[in-house]
Structure 1
Amino acid sequence: MASLRSLNRFRALVLLFSLLSDLSVGVLSLGVGINYGQIANNLPSPSRVALLLRSLNISRVKLYDADPNVLSAFSNSNVDFVIGLGNENLQAMTDPGQAQTWIQQHVQPYLSQTKITCITVGNEVLTGNDTQMKSHLLPAMQTVNNALNNLGLSREVYVTTAHSTGILGNSFPPSSGSFRQDLAEYIQPILSFHSQTNSPFLINAYPFFAYKGSPDQVSLEYVLFQPNPGIRDPVTNLNYDNMLYAQIDAVYSAMKALGHTDVQVKISETGWPSKGDPDEVGATPENAALYNGNLLQRIEQNQGTPANPSIPIDVYVFALFNEDLKPGPASERNYGLLYPDGSPVYRIGLQLQEQQQGYLPHIDYSSSGQQKTVYSSFSLLLIALAFLI
């Protein structure tokens, strides 16, 4: 009798969770994506991550590679994937044969069950010091796109690359935004590529860096989407109450200065670290919670920027987990929303209580080798609730 009651209780919980997943308006399910980095030695298996993201209603994931374990784990999950070609592969991808082989090995086998919608060719290449890599960027993008065309996949998968805001020579006022003059020879043809292929211009934007660099001059409220008087653009008379929106409009202005008003800007990375080195001012759990929580609330409202109010902001938050092996300052290892055990690094919603079996769903395997998911005492439900604003 006790085992029957336990079974009925489990079924009821699963049903309740399913209903909440279908009916609740979770902020992260409203078009916000997540960056799933894996530079760590303590992360859960991709299968467990797939279950975790399902519980959080996250339907868009960006990888920095084309990890077959991840793509297989997310089979039939209805998650949109952005996959990456690393900077080290750019030269090889300028060769049509190698580009087509890469797609046949890393994309085509998964498309029937895993939804891959984008390939990012390189990351922040133009703000690096490798001139040869910069010259390979556009040819690699073109060759990968041609390979997709040849394989009949270009309607399913588009090609782009991600830039840092360091490509801007001027970012304020936003209406006077411009690209660095030394990068114009690279950016102009890249914009033409985006225009021809109807693909977006991706920006990795981190107001944290501006605040860390000049905490006495940059208002913390301005970078955290907190109430503040804002800064007025003297040319357009538009008021900006946060730095991220000003950065986005500066990129639009820079593109317009090069003759392009037909390319959409999307934010491929943005976030705030919960911890940093002593000289990394502002890297705290409280500020990280405010930045990401306030950003998600604005995304939920379908906000556009002051200069482009009809275009909703498209964002991939950085990042899903803290990554303990990332090089650089301490902040680089502390951008995650979650610790590797699935517990939240900070609270942006309801309180999440740890259960006996932890925060991550547990996976058992039957004698046939098939996965069976065991949900631990409300843990998935509580995780989902924790991210509702």
Structure 2
Amino acid sequence: MHTSFCRLRPLFLLLSFSSYGIIPAAPFTGTYGINYGRIADNIPPPQTVVSLLKATKIKNARIYDADHSVLEAFRGSGLELMVGIGNEYLKEMSLNEERAVHWIRENVQPYLPYTHITGIAVGNEVLGGSDQELQEALFGALKNVYNALNRLQLTDYIEILTPHSQAVFANSYPPSSCTFNENILEYMKPILDLFLKTGSPFFLNTYPFLSYKSDPEHIDINYALFLPNPGVYDANTSLYYDNMFDAQIDAAYAALEAAGYGKMEVRVSETGWASNGDEDETGASEQNAKTYNFNLRKRLAKKKGTPRKPKLVLKAYVFALFNEDLKPGPGSERHYGLLKADGSISYNIGFTGLTPSHSSSSILYFKDILIGSMVIAYTMTSTACITALVLVLML
């Protein structure tokens, strides 16, 4: 096939999808996703990552940029991918809708529909931070990205989101008392109004590990790890919480309801537990990380809601796929990975497709397949080679 046709075909098919009313893929299949961070110099290439995700049966992945090598690797995989626009682009994008259009045309549109890009996370933990100019720019950037998607007829396929940290809340205990910080409401409300219009969820980064680390004397480690414990009773709602994760989600629901957005879905953009850290990072251990992530996976697999929203199935992106050895900050930042750099599991949380030795041998297996294919191709006629190449590209 000619290169020019290959570049045009995804857009052509996407427009055909729109013309014939084919229902787009859901933005989140099932309940379990993974954050695929890449601030590291020792992790596998994107093509191997796709194989690892398929082995673990994880269908939803999120990256923090729109790296073209990742987008290309996910092409034809059937996996759903969320891309990100970094904080460093928000101020410029808030002032210029054309900049948002250009970004989508360069980083999203050429890969559709074969790379299933289902969402764009605009910024990360902007509100609640210390950069007021960035806070002021967030809504404009979100609006321009949405308008750009609308102009390109992609709003039925791709949702816009922005992840928030728990710093946007004034308090969270008991869960029913949670409200947004007064100083961010002027920035938060227009965003929530936009998300009501677009049907986007409230994206929340929530870490029981960080809560426990900050106050280990008063927080029961078993409550943070989904282990048997006395739990917490919320007298305002008569709801009982046997784990901190559910309580933190319901705190966000309470804040949304108090602000007038009680019907908005809360989706977890990040959660996880560090397997190691600095000496003062209480609770950072491999055993605790294994316990939290194993129990979190079981909890999400039940496809249930929280005590406050029992019928709204909770969905979460876990942090993270790999340990990222180049991440700045405390030691825990480099120890959230479910997999090691060689693709083997860090600890067993029930991924039946991977074992400590299976992943490494799989990589060698794929290499053997590739080498074998090259040997076979060498003996084929040129016509047969072209035919084989076309078949491979269609996979």
- The TM-score bracket by the shorter chain reads 0.7 to 0.9
Q: Give the alignment of 1:51-62 within 5 angstroms.
A: 51-62=51-62
Contact 1:29 1:57 survives alignment (8 Å): no
Contact 2:344 2:359 survives alignment (8 Å): no
Gaps of 5+ in 1: 1-27, 374-389
**Inter-partner Cα distance in structure 2 for 1:356 and 1:166:** 38
**Inter-partner Cα distance in structure 2 for 1:152 and 1:193:** 18
Q: Equivalent residue of 2:250, what SS?
A: helix
Match of 1:7 in 2: none
What percent identity do the matched residue pairs reach?
Answer: 46
When residues 354 and 234 of structure 1 are mapped into structure 2, their CA distance, relative to the original with a 3 A threshold, is same
Q: Give the alignment of 1:189-268 within 5 angstroms.
A: 189-268=190-269
Q: Equivalent residue of 1:118, what SS?
A: strand
Match of 2:357 in 1: 354
* Deviation at residue 269 of structure 1 after TM alignment: 0.2
**Inter-partner Cα distance in structure 2 for 1:266 and 1:297:** 17
Contact 1:341 1:358 survives alignment (8 Å): no
Match of 1:80 in 2: 80
Contact 1:341 1:359 survives alignment (8 Å): no
CA deviations 1:42-95 (Å, max 9, x no partner) are 111101111111111111000000011011001111111110000000012121
Q: Does 1:316 align with 2:317?
A: yes
Match of 2:330 in 1: 329
CA deviations 1:314-369 (Å, max 9, x no partner) are 10000000000000111000000001101111122379252695453533254469
Match of 2:7 in 1: none
* Deviation at residue 150 of structure 1 after TM alignment: 0.3
Contact 2:344 2:358 survives alignment (8 Å): no
When residues 357 and 236 of structure 1 are mapped into structure 2, their CA distance, relative to the original with a 3 A threshold, is closer
**Inter-partner Cα distance in structure 1 for 2:91 and 2:240:** 43
Match of 2:31 in 1: 31
CA deviations 1:273-299 (Å, max 9, x no partner) are 100111111111110011011011111
Q: Equivalent residue of 2:296, what SS?
A: helix
Q: Using the TM superposition, name which of 351-360 and 219-228 deviates more.
A: 351-360
Matched residue type, 2:357: E
**Inter-partner Cα distance in structure 1 for 2:324 and 2:84:** 18
Matched residue type, 1:238: L
When residues 325 and 371 of structure 1 are mapped into structure 2, their CA distance, relative to the original with a 3 A threshold, is farther
Q: Which aligned segments of 4 or more residues in structure 1 are displaced greater than 6 angstroms?
A: 368-373
**Inter-partner Cα distance in structure 2 for 1:346 and 1:356:** 13
Q: Equivalent residue of 2:34, what SS?
A: strand
Contact 2:345 2:356 survives alignment (8 Å): no
Match of 2:179 in 1: 178
Match of 1:91 in 2: 91
Contact 2:203 2:266 survives alignment (8 Å): yes
Q: Does 1:141 align with 2:142?
A: yes
Matched residue type, 1:211: Y
* Deviation at residue 306 of structure 1 after TM alignment: 0.7
**Inter-partner Cα distance in structure 2 for 1:353 and 1:334:** 17
Q: Give the alignment of 1:156-175 within 5 angstroms.
A: 156-175=157-176
Contact 1:342 1:359 survives alignment (8 Å): no
**Inter-partner Cα distance in structure 1 for 2:305 and 2:358:** 39
Higher helix proportion (structure 1 or 2): 2
**Inter-partner Cα distance in structure 1 for 2:358 and 2:235:** 54
Gaps of 5+ in 2: 1-27, 378-384
Matched residue type, 1:141: L
Contact 1:275 1:283 survives alignment (8 Å): yes
**Inter-partner Cα distance in structure 2 for 1:336 and 1:250:** 27
Matched residue type, 1:114: T
Match of 1:273 in 2: 274
* Deviation at residue 371 of structure 1 after TM alignment: 12
TM-score where L is the length of structure 1: 0.85
When residues 362 and 195 of structure 1 are mapped into structure 2, their CA distance, relative to the original with a 3 A threshold, is same
Q: Equivalent residue of 1:362, what SS?
A: helix
Contact 2:84 2:120 survives alignment (8 Å): yes
Q: Equivalent residue of 1:123, what SS?
A: coil
Q: RMSD in angstroms over aligned alpha carbons?
A: 2.1
Contact 2:212 2:224 survives alignment (8 Å): yes
Q: Equivalent residue of 2:162, what SS?
A: strand
